[in-house]
């Protein structure tokens, strides 16, 4: 069933099918490799070289440190870059994040055009269409890493927590977001945010290699890996 889905998607998107074996990597999903401290990594300038999940995360972490410190370089945002990626793309990470205006992934990781596939929904909630968008990068483009990025003081999680606590139904399709977050409910919003990041990673890991969960701190600008 799974293979059929992947094959169908490959036809749908017209891209080369990337075999799961290519992406399997060595012992990464358990998170041991991510847990190590990694040396500073230079920007990933050459898009066409293969990039490991570990190196992709190291590059994102290095960019986040620049952002935190107020030393963003805004790489890959000039005319030459636009021309370089005009005919093909080789992004090295998928970021599934919240719609929140204060957490734009390209900014908080200090990257540019052609670096990330970004999928954004309220509190990074999933449904089948969103899942397809997340799977597109690893399955069709060979993207080595998926990052689930939640954040401090998430408005969607806060609204859902209050609706569940007060037993109220939100207007229209907003209630779908509440239902998607119900499983992570706890009265403490920050704990619910962390629980929802864990739950989202747990849903994605059986489907995709190299999925990690991280939390963005609005106060400091820091992205911290949670899982």
- Name the residues that contact Zn ion, by CB under 5 A: 98, 100, 154, 156
Q: Distance between CA atoms of 209 and 48, rounded to whole angstroms?
A: 20
Which residue's CB is nearer to Zn ion, number 94 or number 149? 149
Which residue's CB is nearer to Zn ion, number 52 or number 158? 158
The contacts of residue 157 (CB under 8 Å, 6+ apart) are 123, 150, 181, 184, 189, 192, 193, 196
Beta pairing, strands 211-216 & 223-225: antiparallel
CB of 130 to Zn ion, least distance (A): 15
CA 79 to chain centre: 26
CB of 174 to Zn ion, least distance (A): 14
Which residue's CB is nearer to Zn ion, number 23 or number 177? 177
Whether residue 174 contacts residue 186, with contact meaning beta carbons closer than 8 Å, is answered with: no
CB of 55 to Zn ion, least distance (A): 28
Which residue's CB is nearer to Zn ion, number 100 or number 110? 100
Q: Distance between CA atoms of 203 and 173, rounded to whole angstroms?
A: 22
CB of 169 to Zn ion, least distance (A): 20
């Amino acid at each position: 069933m799974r293979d059929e889905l992947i094959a169908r998607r490959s036809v749908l998107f017209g891209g080369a099918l990337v075999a799961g074996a290519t992406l399997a990597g060595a012992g990464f999903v358990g998170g041991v490799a991510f847990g190590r401290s990694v040396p500073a990594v230079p920007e990933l300038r050459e898009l066409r070289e293969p990039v490991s999940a570990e190196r992709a995360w190291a590059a994102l972490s290095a960019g986040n440190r620049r952002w935190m410190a107020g030393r963003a370089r805004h790489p890959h945002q000039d005319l030459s870059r636009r021309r370089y990626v005009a005919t093909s793309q080789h992004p090295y990470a998928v970021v599934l994040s919240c719609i929140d205006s204060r957490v734009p992934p390209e900014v908080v990781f200090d990257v540019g055009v052609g670096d990330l596939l970004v999928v954004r929904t309220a509190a990074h909630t999933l449904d089948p269409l969103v899942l397809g968008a997340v799977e597109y990068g690893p399955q069709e483009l060979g993207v080595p890493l998926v990052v689930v990025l939640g954040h401090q003081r998430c408005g969607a999680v806060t609204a859902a927590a209050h609706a569940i606590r007060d037993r109220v139904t939100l207007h229209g399709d907003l209630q779908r977001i509440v239902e998607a977050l119900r499983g992570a409910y706890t009265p403490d919003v920050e704990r619910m945010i962390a629980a929802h990041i864990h739950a989202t990673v747990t849903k994605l890991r059986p489907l995709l290699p190299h999925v990690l969960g991280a939390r963005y701190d609005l106060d400091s600008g820091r992205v911290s890996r949670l899982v």
